[in-house]
Amino acid sequence: TKEIVYREYCDVSVAVASPNGLVVPVIRNAEELSFAGIEKAIATYGKKAKEGTLSLEDMSGGTFSISNGGVFGSLMGTPIINFSPQAAILGMHATKMRPVVYNGKVEARPMMYLALTYDHRIIDGREAVTFLKSIAQKIEDPGRLLLDL
């Protein structure tokens, strides 16, 4: 349909490795979970993926996905939106030392590429880029997450 459905919850898909490749189970009501709760859900899904016990229900309905190809050494790439109802996917890549200009000098600094693919029909580019910049700032300074800045 051409209808946009707004939901009052966040079901976030997280890519995890299985013996047969990546699978994307959904963390239901992620907005209600603490960091520890999210970590526990990811660990549970990771275990189920390795055991081959994920159900179709476990992997359906996510509207936003997070994929961390960096754990496999990916330096850069473009994540692809799977299908409806997914609105966007965040791809995170490996952190590697790279030469960058910092305070007017070339230095070796840790650098990670992030990529956000989103459906332009429902997400405005300005909001998407602002969100991506916010994620980058939180990765650079994880204390911002704890302080909700």
The residue ranges of DSSP E strands in 1-148, in sequence order, are 12-14, 16-18, 21-23, 26-27, 64-68, 88-102, 105-118
Q: State the catalytic residue, choosing from 11, 93, 119, 120.
A: 120
Cβ atoms within 10 Å, residue 7: 9
What are the helix (H) ranges across the chain? 35-51, 125-140, 143-147
Give yes or no: 120 in active site.
yes
For 72: left if phi > 0, alpha if psi spans -120 to 50, otherwise beta; the answer is: alpha
Phi, psi dihedrals of residue 108, rounded to the nearest 5°? -80, 120
Q: State the catalytic residue, choosing from 11, 58, 93, 124.
A: 124
Give yes or no: 124 in active site.
yes
Task: Write out the catalytic residue numbers.
Answer: 120, 124
